[in-house]
Each structure stands twice: as C-alpha cells, then as structure tokens.
C-alpha cells in the first residue's frame, strides 16, 4: 500500500513584547499561535528579562524550524529592542551568513506586527511616508543575506481603536496564516511579492 506523507514545516514564533500584561492585541495573537500544533512560541522578554540571550539555544531553535516569525508591536517604526539584540547575537558570521554560514538557507521568515497607526498613515502620501514593508527593509535584507525567503509582513493596524471582536478576527487570521505556513499551502512567491499579508484596517475607524 502506498503511503503518502505530508511534510509539515515547524514554525517558530519569536515573540517580543516588553509589557505583555498591558497588551490587547499581541496577547491574543500569541495565544492563537500557541494553539496551533507545530508552532513553537519563544517569548524573548519572558526568557531574557536582562537581555542575556542564550545564543546556542536560539540557534538550536532556529535549526529545528523551517519558518521563523518575528511577532511584535511596531515600536518607533521597527521592532522592540530585544529583537535587535537577538539579531546581533544569534545571527553569527560563519553560522547564519558569510563563509560556512548556511544554517538558515531555504527557511522562511516574516514579521507579524501590530501598529497603533492606521493603514492610511503608512503610504507615500501619509504622515509616515513609507509603507510598513519599506520600513522593515533592514529585516528583509538580513533575511536575504542569510539565504531565507522573506515574506510580506502580517500587520494589524489601528490597534488602539480595535474592538474585541475585531481583535479576535485578527487572531484567527494569524492562526490561519501560521497553519498555512506549517502545511506548505501558502504561495511563497506571491507572499514574498505582496506588500502585506492578512492586513486590514478597522472598517469603521479610518483615520
């Protein structure tokens, strides 16, 4: 009897929120992520409150997963600081890039973030001038240097005005995206070219 096996792609969520007790949106997103089989949540602020990052542990986690998702609130048009420290320490020369550095080649990476500003603010003619994807250029290029497939970001806009039901809908959308990445049903080419994945503004609060 022929046996058909479906290769699942383990997903690692690098979760970075410095005040998760006060989070409305990321808390629900990360709870939704934790409920998806095959998803590992690595809570960086919980594990490294003093930023004393265990590089060997982080590299082992990366090696064991095919998909890497940086989940965080948008802080000053970028990530909370522990994710920068994580990059500086974990993505070592000779391991992640450079001579002999091939540990991450072929893996998938994306940002899943929440922004206080509405989607309209992240346009060339808006107050922030740049799209979220443009603002994430250093992360995109870091992923590319490491030989990874960088996908468009999953973004929840206008967080301060979201109603509970809208937050639940975004959490469900995030879980569906993670499930698709795990199962290999996401078109990586299209997701790499897109400006955003799973984004939507609050339908009732435009500005």
Residues near ligand FMN, by CB under 6 A? 17, 23-26, 73-77, 114-117, 159
Residue 29 structure tokens: 């997103």
Nearer to ligand FMN by C-beta: 48 or 77?
Answer: 77
Residue 66 structure tokens: 């095919």
Closest contact distance (angstroms) between CB of 26 and ligand FMN is 3
Q: Is 193 helix (H, G, I), strand (E, B) or coil?
A: helix
Closest contact distance (angstroms) between CB of 121 and ligand FMN is 7
d(CA 77, CA 59) in angstroms, rounded, equals 26
Nearer to ligand FMN by C-beta: 25 or 83?
Answer: 25
Closest contact distance (angstroms) between CB of 66 and ligand FMN is 26
CA distances (Å), origin 68, targets 65, 128, 206: 7, 27, 31
Closest contact distance (angstroms) between CB of 149 and ligand FMN is 25
H or E segment and range at residue 73: strand 67-73
Residue 68 contacts residue 112 (beta carbons within 8 Å): no
Nearer to ligand FMN by C-beta: 22 or 99?
Answer: 22
Nearer to ligand FMN by C-beta: 119 or 140?
Answer: 119
Nearer to ligand FMN by C-beta: 62 or 113?
Answer: 113
In terms of Cα–Cα distance, which of 74, 70, 78 is closest to 14? 70
d(CA 104, CA 109) in angstroms, rounded, equals 10
Closest contact distance (angstroms) between CB of 132 and ligand FMN is 9
Residue 15 structure tokens: 């979760």
């Amino acid at each position: 009897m022929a046996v058909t096996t479906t290769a699942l792609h383990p997903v690692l969520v690098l979760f970075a929120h410095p005040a998760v007790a006060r989070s409305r949106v990321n808390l629900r997103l990360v709870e939704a992520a934790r409920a998806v089989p095959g998803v590992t949540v690595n809570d960086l602020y919980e594990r490294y409150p003093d930023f004393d990052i265990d590089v060997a542990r982080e590299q082992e986690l990366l090696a064991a997963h095919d998909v890497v998702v940086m989940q965080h609130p948008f802080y000053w048009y970028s990530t909370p600081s522990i994710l920068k420290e994580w990059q500086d320490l974990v993505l070592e020369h000779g391991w992640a890039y450079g001579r002999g550095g091939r540990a991450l080649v072929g893996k998938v990476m994306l940002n899943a973030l929440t922004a206080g500003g509405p989607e309209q603010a992240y346009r060339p003619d808006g107050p922030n001038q740049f799209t979220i994807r443009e603002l994430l250029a250093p992360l995109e290029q870091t992923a590319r240097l490491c030989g990874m497939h960088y996908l468009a970001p999953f973004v929840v806009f206008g967080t301060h005005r979201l109603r509970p039901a809208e937050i639940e809908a975004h959490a469900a959308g995030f879980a569906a995206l993670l499930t698709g990445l795990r199962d290999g049903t996401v078109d990586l080419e299209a997701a790499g070219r897109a400006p955003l994945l799973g984004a939507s503004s609050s339908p009732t609060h435009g500005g």
